Chains A and B, each alone.
Chain A
């Protein structure tokens, strides 16, 4: 085989093997979905699958979540550190780690890691995580609002051998799952991870049997070098500068997370100095999670078309002062973090990247408003079949996405990697009745390009043997969540979680009417912070998800686009008039161009 370029690898073989490694990581993910049986894995896709070099550097991330890809790499290195010169790392071993003070983000995200050997020599690693259905914490599902330190948040393993040279350690397996409320489901979670890692091992060994271990090493070095080289070249395209952004999480207190991005030559420095001290509730992020967020932000903004691997680490530096919400120290709690502190960091890092992108003629068209998080809930109880269950609602997958520099945000576009459980599946498996799930009129942030419209849902308890289910309120709490606008674009409507009790919905249903008006349901209303709560019969849980922020001045939006929004029920005629300055004909079926011009001039004059 000709080897004259690309570090000794011919370009055709380079492309083929780079894509093959990508496909192996993809197949790992597909295996997780097909072997797993829990809603988190099969429907919400809250998982990751990736390949790593023999030393634990990210090699190929497939289509997995960037944050976890980085953290799993740290997990591999921790396993090497713990076992290499101790109990040993042997062919067909598989390890488990979920300690947030080692490499995990919170305990529910259980990493399973497998060395891959060829003729006795370690040549690579595979790693997966799934968000297991329970982890034995204070609250069912793992996210525990009442937890004030890490020891309240369930099983925590700094690294343990789960499979020893091909033999499942049933003592470890049984001990782990028994410490949870859902041993069968958590056992299924672990088994699907073992299966995915076994697939990775088989596929990588097939590759090495065909091309040899030296070729794998050469390709690995080269694709990592390629990513680093391309990223540094792209970073150099921007002028040096600094950009800042702040996010808020409001619970019993308000916590601020702040970041300043500095670009110097071919380096990006994310500095979280100015963030608040760590909280006594589980919103805190460990450093590696903050790092992983920045890694993901860089790749998703200026590296979306290049392989996701260790090459992206070199140009990035992340500073996060210890003892802050961005770098929690022991024994700070973390169980709520992925959807609170983590969601905020996942907003901040891209937000400052977008400010940088806007300063470059070529990259400014890639700018997108990012959402700052939403509320959602997990639930548990006895279902209509008499079985105890723990699950989660996945409406976060139908958030509206931020507007782009040249087009609207995607309506109910969600996170990209996750999907929302369908209503029929939820009602079939749990004692829940959905009253509605629909787009939220006037939810999107106005702008020259409109933010994507998010969703709102309402559900109640039905046919529950205990007459209720238990909920856990999660997400980014506070009214400054949801989509933040860019360059004048307005905010998306805040994401809310509201519990209404003693409503009249069953009277309405008895009258053969469909309860669709939240105000008309009567009863009491409580906006839920981070808490455990009960949904009793006659109560309604209302969820308003995130709405995308707008881009640019709403007065610059094409009037016909506003007309379409009104016709589609996404924008009211009142908002069309007052915010977009678009005057419609009396039938609201066409734009009155002259009146629109006059109206917009009047609005501008009143600014």
Chain B
């Protein structure tokens, strides 16, 4: 049975072991605990999120997760720059 996990991701437990799949291209992320680690992670200046994010430069980065296969954007977070 398949059910949504979040936008662009679904959970498929037809085989008995739940797998997280990309709804666009079917990429298999593994189980629910590991889909983030299996995503393609990119960190860049927060201004990649808009010009008004310039106030965050130096303190924060825009961290995004993508499907490694079709590059669908899955998550966007603002994270602190590590000292």
Q: Decide if B66 touches A607 in the complex (CB within 8 Å).
A: yes
Q: Decide if B51 touches A574 in the complex (CB within 8 Å).
A: yes
Name A239's contact: one of B3, B72, B76 (CB within 8 Å): B3
CA distance A491 to B8 in the complex (A): 19
- CB neighbours (8 Å) of B73 from chain A are 488, 552-555, 607
- CB neighbours (8 Å) of A361 from chain B are 3-4
Q: Name B39-83 residues within 8 Å CB distance of A.
A: 40, 42, 48-53, 55-56, 59-60, 62, 64, 66, 70-76, 78
CA distance A572 to B6 in the complex (A): 30
- CB neighbours (8 Å) of B5 from chain A are 358-359
CB-CB nearest in chain B for A441:
B52
CA distance A605 to B40 in the complex (A): 13
Q: Decide if B4 touches A489 in the complex (CB within 8 Å).
A: no
Q: Decide if B52 touches A446 in the complex (CB within 8 Å).
A: no
- CB neighbours (8 Å) of A359 from chain B are 3-6, 11
- CB neighbours (8 Å) of A443 from chain B are 52
- CB neighbours (8 Å) of A574 from chain B are 51
- CB neighbours (8 Å) of B14 from chain A are none
Q: Decide if A490 touches B49 in the complex (CB within 8 Å).
A: yes
CA distance A113 to B75 in the complex (A): 46
Q: Decide if B52 touches A487 in the complex (CB within 8 Å).
A: no
Given A489-B76, A491-B76: A480 in contact with B60 (beta carbons within 8 A): yes
Residue interface bits A474-515, CB-to-B below 8 A is 1, else 0:
000001100001111111011010000000000000000000
Q: Is B37's beta carbon under 8 Å from chain A?
A: no
Q: Is A579's beta carbon under 8 Å from chain B?
A: yes
- CB neighbours (8 Å) of A487 from chain B are 6-8, 74-75
Minimal beta-carbon separation of A251 from chain B (angstroms): 14
CA distance A554 to B48 in the complex (A): 12
- CB neighbours (8 Å) of A192 from chain B are none
Residue interface bits A227-256, CB-to-B below 8 A is 1, else 0:
000000000000100000000000000000
Q: Decide if A358 touches B50 in the complex (CB within 8 Å).
A: no
CA distance A180 to B24 in the complex (A): 61
CB-CB nearest in chain B for A478:
B59
- CB neighbours (8 Å) of B50 from chain A are 442, 445-446, 490, 493, 575, 579
Q: Is A216's beta carbon under 8 Å from chain B?
A: no
CB-CB nearest in chain B for A606:
B71
CB-CB nearest in chain A for B64:
A488
Minimal beta-carbon separation of A123 from chain B (angstroms): 47
- CB neighbours (8 Å) of A575 from chain B are 50-51
Minimal beta-carbon separation of B76 from chain A (angstroms): 5
CA distance A364 to B50 in the complex (A): 27
Q: Is A275's beta carbon under 8 Å from chain B?
A: no
Q: Which size bracket describes the interface of A in this complex?
A: 35 or more
Q: Which size bracket describes the interface of B in this complex?
A: 20 to 34
Q: Decide if A358 touches B51 in the complex (CB within 8 Å).
A: no
Given A485-B76, A488-B76, A553-B72: A360 in contact with B53 (beta carbons within 8 A): no
Q: Decide if A607 touches B76 in the complex (CB within 8 Å).
A: no
- CB neighbours (8 Å) of A405 from chain B are 7
CB-CB nearest in chain B for A551:
B7
CA distance A479 to B80 in the complex (A): 11
Q: Decide if B7 touches A491 in the complex (CB within 8 Å).
A: no
Minimal beta-carbon separation of A48 from chain B (angstroms): 33
CB-CB nearest in chain A for B52:
A493
- CB neighbours (8 Å) of B52 from chain A are 440, 442-443, 493-494
Q: Name A360-408 residues within 8 Å CB distance of B.
A: 360-361, 364, 405
Minimal beta-carbon separation of A252 from chain B (angstroms): 15
CA distance A496 to B4 in the complex (A): 37
Q: Is A604's beta carbon under 8 Å from chain B?
A: yes
Q: Decide if A480 touches B78 in the complex (CB within 8 Å).
A: yes
Q: Decide if B66 touches A486 in the complex (CB within 8 Å).
A: no
Name A446's contact: one of B49, B64, B66 (CB within 8 Å): B49
- CB neighbours (8 Å) of B55 from chain A are 479, 494, 496
Q: Is A355's beta carbon under 8 Å from chain B?
A: yes
Residue of A364, A443, A487, A605 with most chain B CB atoms under a 10 A cut-off: A487
CA distance A359 to B10 in the complex (A): 8
Minimal beta-carbon separation of A349 from chain B (angstroms): 18
- CB neighbours (8 Å) of B11 from chain A are 359
- CB neighbours (8 Å) of B78 from chain A are 480, 491
Residue interface bits A442-459, CB-to-B below 8 A is 1, else 0:
110110000000000000
Q: Decide if B4 touches A607 in the complex (CB within 8 Å).
A: no
CA distance A555 to B7 in the complex (A): 14
Q: Name A330-369 residues within 8 Å CB distance of B.
A: 355, 358-361, 364
Extra 14 A-B pairs, beta carbons < 8 Å, given A358-B4, A360-B4, A487-B75: A359-B4, A361-B4, A446-B50, A479-B55, A479-B59, A479-B60, A480-B56, A480-B60, A494-B53, A494-B55, A575-B50, A579-B49, A607-B66, A607-B73
Q: Nearest 10 A-B pairs (CB), nearest first?
A: A487-B7, A493-B52, A488-B73, A553-B73, A490-B49, A607-B71, A358-B6, A604-B71, A479-B56, A485-B76
